Structure 1
Amino acid sequence: MTTLLCRLAGPRCSSWRCLGAVLRGTHSRAYLLIHRDGARTLAGGSRPLTGHSRAHSRWQHTEAAEPVEVDLKRLAGGDDGIVEVLMCRHKARNALGHVFVSQMRELVSTLSNDSAVRVVVFRSLVSGVFCAGADLKERALMNNTESDLFVHGLRSLMTQIASLPMPTIAAMDGVALGGGLELALACDLRTAEHSAQMGLIETTRGLLPGAGGSQRLPRMVGITLAKELIFTGKRVGGQTALEMGLVNRAVEQNQTGDAAYREALGLAREILPQAPIAVRMAKEAMNRGVEVDISSAMAIERMCYAQVIPTRDRQEGMAAFIEKRPPRYSGE
């Protein structure tokens, strides 16, 4: 039998709640495994426990549980295949602090290897805010080296999001500034409500966009417009963002404050019926092809196309067309 001495939860915390937090990867401190033979193993809480039976474990809590700042929701029924990444750091307006970034990285890593996921929607549960950007209170406590390393990790997270194999959608119901907009830029598609405010405002803080914004924004809206937005630190609303190509869809806010999310969900539902392997390969072809010359891009397209030829989904698509019925794709 193995005993887990959990240094993450207080005496009032439920054992199973703590277990769930570990399995979701939301614990980031160390915990100690004590095996029956007396051996002790120190494990990082940033990784979920595997092969650990509830029936054969005993949890002893000595500290307060780390709050969940990023969570995962898998939709069911007709929306099976859509997964929502929920940003819920209410007290800090989803600011990109250590815990938030650690939990986001863990969830994104989990999604990257999940073939059942067809579309990912990034949304906020904090009213009026998508993501307010850097956690300036945490940043103020860092020295130059620590700040550089943290921003490097943040840049790595955005690359991790951009590299997810399935389509991703950012639903911006409210403010998306600095790193918050960089997170949205790392997604494939973006929706926003008209009153949402977004911008790369780092130059107003003596910085420049450091989590991919200085590179992704020019590729999205053009170099001249991107320079204007970054040099001035200008904020734009949802409708203006739509006109400049920064977002795919802009809608009026609704009474529940989640119009951009509703629009993103509708967009995800348009993607959901399509052949998942074909969609993933199309994303791969576009993402890689846009960075090279046209001749190399054509070679990339050929390689990606070759991946879908032997799939059952391709055969199903052809059969459905001939039989004049909707296709039923399995992702195989």
Structure 2
Amino acid sequence: MNDASEGAVIVQIDGRIAEIGLSNGALNLVTRALLRSLNKAIDQLETQADLRCVIVHGLAARAFCAGSDINEFADIFADASEKKILFEDMVLRRLARLPMPTIAAIDGPALGGGLELALACDLRVCRAGVTLGLTESRLGGLAGNGSLRLTRLVGPARAKELLFTGATIGAEQALAWGLVNRIAENGSALPAARELAKAICARGPLSNRFAKQLVDAAQDQPLDAALSLSTVVQQKIFDSRDLHEGVAAFFAKREPEFLGR
């Protein structure tokens, strides 16, 4: 396992799975330091073709991430776009655009900017009893990118209710609404996320990366453009060695050994 510490984030790589551990105090508040560290972690991981899954988690903190550090707000009122909004949105968009599947392992509250961070991941695994919410309206604030990503997951009516009231919901309700994918009923979300990552890693890495592109395209692009993309990536799949390996393994009744090419 390779470990690298970058300020408020610790990156660990174990084989084909990378973990980004948030390490910014007991609540893992979203600060400029955390965002800079997360951005550098993304720099490190996004070009590693051998990585098949990335897990984001809160290490041993009380919260996965309890949102923005409001102590920083006094310095940014006049220049919020320059000092916070644009950079934070860029980092979250880069996280969302990592080419490999990503999982948020949520073992403590994910609130405000913390839930926005989790929403930028492809999948969310939650410990039972954890609370989640975009609570910015309690301070007269707004979850910008989180409002959009939340709506795509739970629909406009539920998203508006959470945003308008600043309410939090439990893991069970979040699962019923489609906000999280799984609940770790018998302990920490991190081991459950690792098991899910192992299952992902056992499948074709090219297939998973292209599947991520197509699912995102289904939401972001007109249908005809997304269908054109599906044709292109399907051809790449049929040109790949991995598909031939998968077929050979099927007939030989053995596990395939995918190489990602």
- TM-score range (shorter-chain normalised) is over 0.9
State the Cα distance separating 1:147 from its structure 2 match.
Answer: 5.5
Q: Which residue in the other structure is 2:238 paired with?
A: 309
For the residues of structure 2 that align with 1:291 and 1:123, how far apart are their CA atoms? 27
Q: Go from structure 1 to structure 2 and tell me whether the alpha carbon gap of 1:156 and 1:125 turns closer, same or farther (over 3 Å shift).
A: same
Deviations 1:16-44 (A, max 9, x none): xxxxx9xx583xxxxxxxxxxxxxxxxxx
Contact 1:94 1:126 in 2 (8 A): no
Q: Do structure 1's residue 283 and structure 2's residue 212 form an aligned pair?
A: yes
In structure 1, the partner of 2:45 is: 111
* Higher deviation after alignment, 94-103 or 283-292: 283-292
Quick check: which has more Rg, 1 or 2? Answer: 1
Q: What is the CA deviation profile of residues 131-154 of structure 1, one whole-angstrom value per residue up to 9, with x for unaligned ones?
A: 011011112232321465411111
Task: Report if aligned partners of 1:25, 1:107 keep a CA contact under 8 Å in 2.
Answer: no
Q: Deviations for 1:49-74, whole angstroms, at most 9, x for unmatched residues?
A: xxxxxxxxxxxxxxxxxxx3101011
Q: Percent identity?
A: 36
- Are 1:329 and 2:258 matched, yes or no? yes
- Does residue 1:72 correspond to 2:11, yes or no? yes
Alpha-carbon distance between aligned partners in 1 of 2:78 and 2:136, rounded to the nearest angstrom: 17
* Structure 2 match to 1:84: 19
Residue 198 (structure 1) aligned to one of 116, 129, 132: 132
Q: Deviations over 1:63-118 (max 9, x none)?
A: xxxxx31010111xxxx201100111125x11111111101001012111111111
Instruction: Give the corresponding residue for 1:167.
Output: 101
Query: 1:171, 1:107 → 2: CA distance?
Result: 17
Tell me which residue corresponds to 1:132: 66
Query: What TM-score do you get using the length of structure 2 for normalisation?
Result: 0.94
1:64 corresponds in structure 2 to: none
Asked if 1:236 is matched to 2:177, the reply is no
Structure 2 unmatched ranges of 5 or more? none
- In 2, distance between residues paired with 1:227 and 1:143? 26
The match for 2:182 is 249
* 2:113 counterpart letter in structure 1: G
> Structure 1 pair 129/152, CA: closer, same or farther in 2 (3 Å)?
same
Q: More helix per residue: 1 or 2?
A: 2
Structure 1 unaligned blocks of 5 or more: 1-20, 27-67
Secondary structure in 1 matching 2:64 = strand
Question: Cα RMSD over matched residues?
Answer: 1.7
